[in-house]
Amino acid sequence: MSTEAVASAPAPTKSRFHWEHLVGLLGLVLLVAGQYMGLFVAPPERMMGEVGRILYTHVPAAWLAMVAFTVAFVTAVAHLFTGRRGLDWATEAAVEVGAMLNVLLLIQGSIFARPTWGVWWTWDPRLTASAIMLLTFVGVLMLRGAVRDPDRRATWTSVATVLAYVNIPITYFSVKWWRSLHQIQSSPETVADPMVFVLRLNAFAFLFIMIWFIARRWRLAQTLARADEAPPLPAQEAT
């Protein structure tokens, strides 16, 4: 990584207000509205009844975890081509936020599985693939923590992120062939209109909150990198 690439990253501004706070605020408003509608306005799910309301957070968490990992993949590939430090920070931010959503997805899935399937955990393809996906990206974060040199850390993170991402489809198909229990994926055609609207509302809420988190984490990474590169303080004269 050249000094030029680091210098090309925008300098942190002194203002405490950043554009992403507006996105986060919009996300929080949508989340409150979406959760209210999911709990009190949307009709109960035909087969699962009231339990089915967890779908309004479970499904957006699944979608947005994949979106976050896709962002990480794109920024990792872009970093390998350009070497820009800002893209490495974006990869780190997206992997962390994706892992957080993945944990949320697994916890919700487990809570959902208990009343519907009678077990906290089952070796269903989507559950298993989600758990493996989490482990794969946690490995990326652990690797990142094991390297001190920022250039080396950035390259290794990008390589590990690319490998982790391209492995997702083949992992999914392997566990799908292994055994299957998860309900068939729904589409807007198979879901009642009021439920589709609430699901979309919550999905947008999660999207905006995800963007907010990634942007905040990116700024934190930028600040930490600049602190590492700061010149030493001048030595004080002995009095």
Q: Which residues bind other proteins (CB under 8 A)?
A: 80, 132-133, 135-136, 138-140, 142-143, 146-147, 151-152, 155-156, 158-160, 162-164, 166-167, 170-171, 173-175, 177-178
C-beta neighbour count of 85 within 10 angstroms: 23
d(CA 179, CA 26): 41
CB of 1 to other proteins, least distance (A): 9
**Between 136 and 202, whose beta carbon lies closer to other proteins?**
136
Q: Which residues contact 156 (CB under 8 A, 6 or more apart)?
A: 143, 144, 147
C-beta neighbour count of 199 within 10 angstroms: 22
7: which 2 tokens? 């210098």
**Between 51 and 132, whose beta carbon lies closer to other proteins?**
132
CB of 88 to other proteins, least distance (A): 13
CB of 148 to other proteins, least distance (A): 8
User: Is there a contact between 85 and 1 (Cβ–Cβ < 8 Å)?
Assistant: yes
Following DSSP, what letter does each residue of 5-47 receive, concatenated?
Answer: HHHTSPPPPS-S--HHHHHHHHHHHHHHHHHHIIIIISPPBTT
CB of 144 to other proteins, least distance (A): 10
**Between 48 and 80, whose beta carbon lies closer to other proteins?**
80
**Between 35 and 174, whose beta carbon lies closer to other proteins?**
174
79: which 2 tokens? 């970093």
CB of 170 to other proteins, least distance (A): 5
**Between 75 and 136, whose beta carbon lies closer to other proteins?**
136
